[in-house]
A and B are shown apart, each in its own frame.
Chain A
């Protein structure tokens, strides 16, 4: 079966973001960018399905300007077979991303689409669910285990009280949680090979969708700073402060 893996280029997770002085957004100039950690897990899962003989082809897709080709090459180096860049310099709402992905799903007819559960920049946690709604497919979100079983896929999901397993008819949508797998590192030979793998570029405008923004970002501010605290010397002092100064214990 064919597996489609949408990936996103985001700020590296270790970077401490700065808000622009005019409060228009965060400052991404000269900041290290990387593949979103949840998307990396999605690529790894797809590649493992291929290694297990379940998947026959893994296609990575990303929506953005030319710079996201870097992340697509990373996905190819990790084992994806080919890549598609949907070219746009617009900042899209998750709904638009889902609509563009729906077109790719219609074209490629994958049996499984694996996405990250959320991107670490917008923290929306929406795209996979929206794509599932638009395609009419079942969804297995926040997956920590994925087992394809004939015409169905069993997905173990991380839910508030613990774990829940659901069975989904294929084709289906899965979104990854952190504990699904441990992504591999790309080896140098694989990075070299990835340069020759096919990468198709398709302008977003060619899909004929109305991508007018549905939300306006009015402002972005830094979070309230916490007051610097104190270091206490002993447990006695700590307990005394919590009782009498902070009054959070009695």
Chain B
């Protein structure tokens, strides 16, 4: 019994969500090996070797894996899969992109976005935008799993795993990377922040999102948005919280000018404390909010900032 966990990283930093995925892997049972596939990613390999519960770090450092193209990474993971019972990745865009490809190449079903492990073959996952929770048993001999990081607590980082370099270079030759346009932000990562403040259609325009900046600075919060705010062009899409955007579960989630559609709630309703600021007392967001205030956000936000 052993588990292969795919490490999420950007070639320089190991993503914190990987620590949560390792926690999920521990619940599946068996020795855990962490795979770092990238290019010039020694720093990630070093960080990966310190992750608790990991017995071995496999490093595939090759230009073919620089952008973690699904065509190339899936071939690498499928090749390694022979030695493992569970192949696990984090349900972030990279994992979501290549893992179903691995599952199909191995001819097994994939279980996506699990939030709990009941046993080595039985997993819990949300369906219907989180409005139902399914318990699913895998009947395949190998389990291909993606893990929703908000469902698990991160493992510590004081371990010392053995690092093994893999001499692999699988380039499928069917795709190539053209460019990245990444949003630059000084704020904490939306998925990992302990406080998130999000704006919706009620913000009216992109400039008004600046009203959230001061509050976010004082609380050390990340700034998110509803789909309505993204579709209206107020903010970029990587800020979207919801069924089709990011899933967050911070200690405090402040929803400003967000009505609370099913699709938005799917992305934030596991937050510990939810605060709603909305001028419509009938907005569905108040049904899930621990604290609500019926007020015009243009009055409430400056006042909140001044009182923090």
Contacts and interface: CB of A to CB of B under 8 A. Distances in A.
Contact of B137 (A13, A117, A218): A218
A234 to B, nearest CB: 8
B137 A163 contact: no
A147 B231 CA distance: 21
A196 interface: no
Contacts of B191: 160
Interface string B180-204: 1111000000010001000000000
A246 B128 contact: no
A216 B136 contact: yes
Contacts of B273: 242, 246, 248
Interface stretch (A43-51, A71-79, A128-136, A198-206): A128-136
B80 interface: no
A129 B131 contact: no
Nearest to B303: A235
B275 interface: yes
A238 interface: yes
A125 B112 contact: yes
Does more than half of chain A's interface fall in helix, strand or loop, or is it mixed?
A: mixed
A236 B295 CA distance: 13
A160 to B, nearest CB: 5
Contacts of B238: 158-162
B175 A167 contact: yes
B36 to A, nearest CB: 18
Contact of B101 (A93, A120, A132, A234): A132
A88 interface: no
Interface residues of B, number: 92
Contacts of A248: 195, 251-252, 272-273
A94 B109 contact: yes
A214 B93 contact: no
Interface string B280-308: 01000011111111110000100110011
Contacts of A230: 290-292
A249 B308 contact: yes
Interface stretch (A56-64, A106-114, A187-195, A220-228): A220-228
B132 A144 contact: no
B98 A129 contact: yes
B132 A215 contact: no
Interface string A115-140: 00110111111111111111011110
A118 B244 contact: yes
Interface string B93-119: 110111111111101111111000000
B175 A138 contact: yes
B131 A223 contact: yes
A138 B174 contact: yes
Contact of B175 (A19, A121, A169): A169
B227 interface: yes
B161 interface: no
B214 interface: no
Given A95-B104, A123-B126, A167-B178, A215 B139 contact: yes
Nearest to B239: A162
B120 interface: no
A54 interface: no
Given A129-B97, A215-B109, A246-B252, A169 B180 contact: no
B263 A13 contact: yes
A123 B127 contact: yes
B20 interface: no
A164 B176 CA distance: 11
Nearest to A117: B244
B2 interface: no
B122 interface: yes
Interface stretch (B38-46, B49-57, B67-75, B151-159): B67-75
Given A162-B181, A214-B108, 8 more contacts: A95-B110, A124-B110, A125-B100, A137-B174, A159-B180, A164-B179, A217-B134, A221-B133
18 contacts: A93-B109, A98-B104, A123-B126, A125-B112, A129-B97, A130-B104, A133-B100, A158-B237, A162-B238, A168-B175, A179-B230, A223-B133, A231-B281, A238-B293, A238-B304, A246-B252, A246-B272, A249-B308
Interface of A: 11, 13-14, 16-17, 19, 26, 93-95, 98, 117-118, 120-134, 136-139, 141-142, 144, 154, 157-169, 172, 177-179, 213-223, 226-236, 238-239, 241-242, 246, 248-249
